[in-house]
Amino acid sequence: MKQKRKRRITEFLVFFILIAAAILCIIGMNAEKNDTNIVTELTIPAMTEITETIQTTQRPTQANTQSEEKSVLIENFPHIYQMMKYPTGCESVAAVSLMQFYGVDITVENFIDFHLPTADYPYYKNDIMYGESPWNAFIGEPYSDSGYGCYSTVIVKAMKSAIPQNYEISAIYNVPMSTLCSEYIDNGQPVMIWATMDMREPYEGKSWLLSNGETFTFICPEHALVLIGYDDKSYYFCNPQSEEAVVSYPKEACETAYNALYSQAVIMKPAA
């Protein structure tokens, strides 16, 4: 009886030990699983935070992607409408506006009648057209619808004849319009330029033989006006053909017209 009872006690202890061992294994596995969950919960937010930091650093701000627009306009520039009296006299009207801006007391009529060199219209002889160069004189009549025009050398000569000696007047050539803006407009100095009417596409007009034997071709529709401002997309002008005091045209069209008319301009300033 004692041996049988001792065996039962032993079997019970063994069973109890096995149960205890099983419970400890289950507890250990749960603990390991909980540790893994904790690591996962900590790791994922940390990686997300790093990713968001990288994306924020690489994403440009609105201020970095858009440059601030620059706009400059010379105000109170004198405007004279040419079409009533001087339909082809844009060069003279633009020159007088420029002189009036600097305080010179002069009218367009006075400038044309007493200071502007002029020449006869081109003419035919033996089926060949002959004529003067617009670099030397205004071709035709500024008061007429049929006048041709003149270039910067003529206007500089006429302006020097018309105004006191305490002003400097000069023609400049092959200077990009962007440089005219940075060197002159930014400093409050208007610039008279040659381009085309309303910045239309330039084309070759009539050709004639000059006295020196060279052939000259008139670029149409030739026009002179005064550059007084600009922004990122346009140039601003005092245009004698417009009834508006200030007009603007797209930069590309202006540059094409300006280049076609030999990139010529006239500037004026008080003598130092």
2-40 per-residue burial string, b: 16 or more CB within 10 A, e: under 16: eeeeeeeeeeeeeeeeeeeeeeeeeeeeeeeeeeeeeee
- What's the pLDDT tens digit per position in 79-135? 999 999 999 999 999 999 999 999 999 999 999 999 999 999 999 999 999 999 999
Cα 119 off chain centre by: 38
Structure confidence by residue, pLDDT tens digits, 40-83: 333 333 433 333 333 333 333 333 334 578 899 999 999 999 99
Element of type H or E holding 222? strand 222-230
Determine contact, residues 232/250, Cβ cutoff 8 Å: no
What's 266's DSSP letter? E
223-271 pLDDT, tens per residue? 999 999 999 999 999 999 999 999 999 999 999 999 999 999 999 999 8
With 80 as the cut, is the pLDDT of residue 17 above it? no
Residue 163 DSSP one-character state: S
Q: CB–CB of 91/150 below 8 Å?
A: yes
pLDDT beyond 80 at 212: yes
Q: Give the number of C-alpha atoms closer than 13 A to the C-alpha of residue 271, restricted to the C-beta side.
A: 8
**For residue 20, what pLDDT band results from cuts at 50, 70 and 90?**
low
Measure the CA dihedral 108/109/113/115, to 10°: -30
Eight-state DSSP code of residue 149: B
Residues 183-202 have a mean pLDDT of: 98
Instruction: Specify whether the CB–CB gap between 213 and 249 falls below 8 A.
Output: no
Element (H, E) at 57: helix 2-58
Write the pLDDT tens digit of every residue in 130-171: 999 999 999 999 999 999 999 999 999 999 999 988 999 999
What average pLDDT does the segment 23-38 reach?
Answer: 48
What's the pLDDT at 4? Answer: 47
pLDDT at 10 over 80: no
Task: Look at residue 15 in the predicted model and tell me its pLDDT.
Answer: 58
Residue in 178, 165, 199, 174 with CA at minimum distance from that of residue 268:
165
DSSP string, 4-54: HHHHHHHHHHHHHHHHHHHHHHHHHHHHHHHHHHHHHHHHHHHHHHHHHHH
